[in-house]
Structure 1
């Protein structure tokens, strides 16, 4: 998230400084419109290019400036989650295995413009000895940016949980490329520590969910089971709203989809995408490489009700190809009576929903592994 300028408590911005503040991405149209309405200024449009100049013309009171700052302090980038697994060969629980770990050389000394705000913090659960969480926070400084863009702060966490006698699951949650880098570094340090202390065999490697784990047909089935065929108490599937794919050039394309030949990236956005003939008909699936599907849902969870979109993706496929790692994130989110909830509450609720989707993904992937084993046994 955006971190406050170091002189925020000393400066009451106006003019161009205030324009720079109002232009920030964490101040959305509804925030600015509500802010202006409280000043008795009403617009029949919600476009930022109309609202920002008006805000920039105002002289703010300290209380009003604090109101805008509060938006900054509560708006977070979307969390993304991915998981990996590691064979466990120790009788120790996770609590005992990590309690003496030291995190060093997480970020190289040179070549990076971000740094950890403080040492990663290990959270132990009093009643769960086989589960820990490592939280971290970092800052990036962009000195060529304006007053309120110069410093960004990002959070992340690593959750390590023993899921069977001989396997642990590692869940990485991050909000930016920087926090993803730190998360990967922490996982590597932890993996090496486990091996050095004989909790994990030295010849064992981390198992991730990779694009190459699936053939073309299995991958689209995996996406469908996560989205339209999801079995959940809390979520109701509505529609597939986005799919990203390309033809597999190693397969001869059927005449009906020969127009896709040599296309490097195709996107379908809209409604009822799953009824498109080459997606609906399974005979084309072996010819297509899907790497992303976005689906919309309604939800009812605890006291909360609303709608959200979830992205299931091998997001780096175009760069990493077969080594692209699977992850999920919530792209759109709205609550019934949303004005009754603070921005901080909304971030908390969205993260709870993402954890529910992550659990469902784990079930779907576990079933897929069983299916693969059975298929290989028959072959």
Structure 2
């Protein structure tokens, strides 16, 4: 029996809702009309949509437009975690995780609004020559029945990449594309299962996973850490502007507050500032104020220059979980990305990941200078197995 979702063709008001989706451009609609031999001089969807609603669309046209709606550009978000690899065992990541790994029941959703669309597995990454570098990719579909047709399905991707470095550290690069909480939860569950499996076979020396949490810093050291982290990285990105910061006064600090911060402590619970070069703001510059300020987010714009491409991007450096700051983990994500010349989606994705991974490496390097919880020989935080 054919799947009813594949045989259904929208019409009338449902078709109008679908064609209004912002991922479907006026040029796409004109292209469909022109392929039928019908020409319209208008470039406005308000004029083009009624023409297609009146005449209807063919199954192959509907299939093409559905693909356009699904193919939203991925803006990756990266979180790096670390485990200690046991080199004495003589095994590899590919042999430990490539066979019989449990990807079942990753989704806990009673109403079946969330499903995994592919069959994930750990495979050797890159050129396939390093068995100690593996990756698993997961594609997730979320259905929201409260939204208009054509907007009721969203797709999210996440990948879990593991690689043993020259220092026998197992880097877990957990990448979630889009800003989907669902994909992050699934990625974290796979990481928990992988660390448990590697521990059971003695491939790692412990199940402790190094993470960077909001509570790993004092207020002052957190500000110093983030303002150092956002600075240019020569081979990846050059800072242009610090355009937004999200701060909150810390009312638990004893002693009299400086005049500059009294108004915040008395009247403002939290504050988002937008402007230019905010990393040099008085709140992030004066030590007397830094001790009383909780910094949650810095958003910066960068220029990107390589031998082949020039472009720009906006990156968020954020502790996102304001409701549970003890578990809020530093996340670096690309919000906007553009290039002066047209490049393929594959090249765009590669360039984005180059930028993100450069900041990820810097993120770990700066810990020893700023985190009071930094211990070179052990992890910063244990991820629960539950």
Q: Shorter-chain-normalised TM-score: which range?
A: 0.7 to 0.9
Equivalents in 2 of 1:15, 1:110: separation in Å? 33
CA contact (8 A) 2:237 2:355 kept: no
Q: Give the drift of 1:290.
A: 0.6
CA contact (8 A) 1:139 1:153 kept: yes
- 1:33 deviation in Å? 6.7
On the 8 A contact 1:95/1:124 being kept in 2, the answer is yes
1:108 corresponds to 2:115: no
Could you tell me whether the CA contact under 8 Å between 1:131 and 1:159 is conserved in 2? yes
- What displacement does 1:208 show? 1.0
Q: Does residue 285 in structure 1 map to residue 290 in structure 2? A: yes
- Given the alignment of the two structures, is residue 209 of structure 1 paired with residue 212 of structure 2, yes or no? yes
1:26 to 23, 38, 50: 23
Instruction: Give aligned pairs, total.
Output: 353
Aligned counterpart, 2:275: 270
Q: 1:91-140 deviations in whole A, cap 9, x for unaligned? A: 32322222234213322363652122233122214221221001111222
Aligned pair in 2 of structure 1 residues 207, 284: CA closer, same or farther (>3 Å)?
A: same
Partner of residue 99, structure 1 = 98
Is 2:198 the counterpart of 1:197?
no
Would the aligned equivalents of 1:22 and 1:55 in 2 still touch at CA under 8 Å?
A: no
Q: Which of 247, 255, 258 in structure 2 is aligned with 1:254?
A: 258
Q: How far does the alpha carbon of each residue in 1:293-327 deviate from its partner, in whole angstroms, 9 at most, with x for none?
A: 110011123522221101111111x1111220111
Residues 55, 79 of structure 1: alpha-carbon distance in 2 compared, 3 angstrom cutoff: farther
Within a 5 Å distance, the mapping from 1:83-94 to structure 2 comes to 83-91=80-88, 92-94=91-93
The equivalent residue for 2:229 is: 226
Is the contact made by 1:19 and 1:53 (CA closer than 8 Å) also made in structure 2? no
Q: Which runs of 5+ in 2 are unaligned?
A: 376-386
Query: Residue 123 of structure 1 corresponds to which residue in structure 2?
Result: 123
For residues 196-224 of structure 1, give each alpha carbon's deviation from its aligned partner in whole angstroms, at most 9, with x where no partner exists.
1111245x411111111222222222222
Residue 74 (structure 2) pairs with residue 72 (structure 1): no
Task: Give the secondary structure class of the aligned counterpart of 1:207.
Answer: coil
2-side partners of 1:102 and 1:376: how far apart? 32
Deviates more, 1:366-375 or 1:353-362: 366-375
Cα pair distance change 1:109/1:365, threshold 3 Å? closer
Mapped to 2, the partners of 1:350 and 1:282 lie a distance apart of 40
> Matches of 1:32 and 1:286 in 2, distance apart?
53
Distance in 1 of aligned mates of 2:148 and 2:349: 30
Tell me the distance in 1 between the aligned counterparts of 2:299 and 2:374.
30
Structure 1 residues 282 and 351: CA distance shift in structure 2, 3 A: farther
Structure 2 counterpart of 1:181, from 181, 185, 189? 185
> 1:41-75: CA deviations, max 9, x gaps?
456xxxxxxx5533431227658766644532432
Alignment CA distance shift 1:172-1:374 (3 Å):
closer
Q: Tell me: CA distance 1:350–1:292, structure 2 relative to 1, closer, same or farther (3 Å).
A: farther
In 2, Cα distance between equivalents of 1:366 and 1:40? 56
Q: 1:139 to 1:86 in 2, by over 3 A?
A: same
Unaligned segments of structure 1, at least 5 residues: 44-50
Distance in 2 of aligned mates of 1:33 and 1:283: 56
Aligned-pair distance for 1:16? Answer: 2.1
RMSD over equivalenced CA pairs, Å:
3.1
Between the aligned partners of 1:288 and 1:177, the Cα distance in structure 2 is 27
Q: What pairs with 1:293-304 in structure 2 (closer than 5 Å)? A: 293-304=298-309
1:172 and 1:295 map into 2 onto residues whose CA distance is: 22
TM-score (norm 1): 0.82
> Contact (CA 8 Å) 2:94, 2:131: kept in 1 or not?
yes
Q: Is the 8 A contact 1:222 1:364 kept in 2?
A: no
Output one character per residue of 1:314-368: Cα deviation in whole Å (capped at 9) or x when no partner. Answer: 111x11112201111111122214xx45xxx34x344323322333223323322
Quote the Cα distance in structure 2 between the aligned partners of 1:66 and 1:376: 52
CA distance in 2, matches of 1:282, 1:217: 7
How far off its partner does 1:193 sit?
0.4
Name the residue aligned to 1:48: none
Change (3 A) 1:322 1:233: same
Contact 1:33–1:42 (Cα < 8 Å) also in 2:
no
Q: Are 1:310 and 2:328 an aligned pair?
A: no
Q: SS of the residue aligned with 1:319? A: coil
Instruction: Say if 1:315 and 1:325, in contact at 8 Å, map to a contact too.
Output: yes
